[in-house]
């Protein structure tokens, strides 16, 4: 089947089955084309809550499908490729968090949204990369354990020196590969360009940024500029901007070799097709007690943010 035929078939079959296709911006461009809703992970899980359709295909990694299920337990949430996982989301075990809390009852545990449902259930509050600063500031606790991303955690720590923030040694293996030389070299080629970067990147890279933010914030910032913008996040963002915006060539990818998330790219159109027709994929199931505990951490984030 030709790609265009396969795309039409997916759209047709999804419609027939009252199924909505959600895709994170880092997905392959062909999947972005056929998705009903695209965006960052928390945005997608919130959008899913308001759908009248009770079946969604979540094109992304496991924690994203879990987040949709936490917020919409009545919806069937299918992850097309069950092995698609965020390598940062499991870099600390729920048992370790439980033990830490037992020994440090006055320390708030703050978990980045890129964590498993089991970790969300153990923490006190979740944060997205865009809400982390506001939420950590709003917490009454002086002592905070920030899991799992040391880069996002150290960015927050630097901005809020009045708090004692303990960092976990986790990181995104994609963004963490960036070095200051990557941006210094590219800036020599494009000295007039602004630099927007994801806070999962190391501090030495963030130091060169004109803007630091989550996927959706980077897109918004890049669109709002008229000149060149160097983008320091997964290649899906530049692929999206260069095909959906006029003067697409003004968006410049920082290190196309390093900034590819294999787990985000593993899902193909064929996988989505087979998931839509019910021949492939995992329907996410969460223990109800765990789901409610995880939801509490997300609700707390919404309350504070
Ligand atoms: P966003 O929430 O910014 O989309 O981040 C998702 C992600 O996986 C970043 O690497
Ligand atoms: Fe996880 Fe990094 Fe991939 Fe995002 S880019 S899904 S944080 S491994």
Tell me which residue has tokens 């998705």: 35
Across the chain, mean pLDDT equals 97
Mean pLDDT of 125-143: 95
Q: Spell out the residues 6+ positions from residue 85 whose beta carbon is closer than 8 angstroms to its own.
A: 61, 62, 63, 263
Per-residue pLDDT, averaged over 166-190, amounts to 98
Nearest alpha carbon, ligand 2 atom 2: 172
For the four alpha carbons of 165, 170, 174 and 178, in that order, the dihedral sign comes to positive
Q: What is the mean pLDDT of residues 22-30?
A: 97
pTM of this structure? 0.95
pLDDT tens string 212-271: 999 999 999 999 999 999 999 999 999 999 999 889 999 999 999 999 999 999 999 999
Ligand located closest to 91 CA:
2
**Atom of ligand 2 at shortest range from CA of 149:** 7
CA 225 / ligand 2 centre spacing (Å): 26
**pLDDT level of residue 33 (50, 70, 90 thresholds):** very high
State the distance from the centre of ligand 1 to the C-alpha of 263, rounded, in angstroms. Answer: 13
Q: Which residues line ligand 2 (CB under 6 A)?
A: 61, 86-88, 114, 172-174, 200, 234, 261, 263-264
Q: What pLDDT does residue 246 have?
A: 86
* pLDDT surpassing 90 at residue 305: no
In this prediction, residue 86 has a pLDDT band, given cuts at 50, 70 and 90, of very high
Report the percentage of the chain scoring pLDDT > 70: 100
What letters, b where the CB count within 10 A reaches 16 and e where it falls short, cover 164-193?
A: ebebbebbbbbbbbbeeebbeebeeeeeeb
In ligand 2, which atom is closest to the CA atom of 86?
1
Ligand 2: centre distance to CA 87 (Å): 6
Give pLDDT, residue 240.
96
**What mean pLDDT comes out for the span 120-140?**
95
Give 1's pLDDT tier (boundaries 50, 70, 90).
Answer: confident
Distance CA 45, CA 279 (A): 24
Please tell me the distance from the alpha carbon of residue 99 to that of residue 79, in angstroms, as a whole number: 31
Query: 261 CA to middle of ligand 2, Å?
Result: 6
**Under 8 Å between Cβ of 223 and 245:** yes
CB 33 within 8 A of CB 4: no
Mean pLDDT of 73-89: 97
Secondary structure in 3-state letters for 203-267: HHHHCCCCEECCHHHHHHHHHHCCCCEEEECCHHHHHHHHHHCCCHHHEEECCCCCCCCHHHHCC
- Centre of ligand 2 to C-alpha 172, Å, is 6
């Amino acid at each position: 089947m030709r790609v265009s035929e396969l795309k039409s078939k997916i759209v047709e079959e999804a419609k027939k089955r009252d199924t909505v296709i959600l895709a994170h911006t880092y997905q392959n461009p062909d999947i972005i084309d056929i998705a009903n809703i695209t965006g960052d992970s928390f945005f997608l899980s919130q959008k899913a809550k308001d759908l009248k359709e009770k079946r969604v295909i979540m094109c992304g990694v496991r924690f994203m499908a879990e987040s949709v299920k936490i917020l919409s337990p009545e919806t069937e949430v299918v992850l097309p490729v069950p092995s698609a996982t965020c390598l940062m989301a499991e870099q600390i075990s729920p048992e370790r968090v439980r033990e830490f809390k037992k020994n440090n009852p006055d320390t708030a545990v703050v978990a980045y949204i890129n964590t498993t449902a089991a970790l969300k259930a153990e923490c006190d509050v979740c944060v997205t990369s865009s809400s982390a600063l506001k939420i950590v500031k709003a917490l009454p606790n002086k002592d905070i354990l920030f899991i799992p991303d040391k880069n996002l955690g150290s960015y927050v720590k630097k901005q809020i020196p009045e708090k004692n923030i303990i960092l976990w040694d986790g990181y995104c293996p994609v963004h963490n590969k960036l070095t200051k030389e990557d941006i210094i070299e590219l800036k020599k080629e494009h000295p007039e360009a602004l630099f927007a970067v994801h806070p999962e990147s190391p501090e030495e890279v963030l130091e060169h940024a004109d803007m630091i933010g989550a996927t959706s914030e980077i897109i918004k910032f890049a669109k709002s500029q008229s000149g060149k913008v160097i983008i320091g996040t997964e290649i899906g963002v530049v692929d999206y901007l260069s095909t959906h915006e006029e003067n697409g060539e003004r968006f410049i990818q920082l290190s196309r070799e390093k900034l590819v998330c294999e787990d985000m790219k593993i899902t193909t159109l064929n996988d989505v097709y087979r998931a839509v027709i019910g021949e492939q994929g995992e329907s996410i199931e969460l223990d109800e007690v765990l789901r409610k505990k995880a939801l509490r951490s997300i609700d707390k984030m919404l309350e504070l943010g």
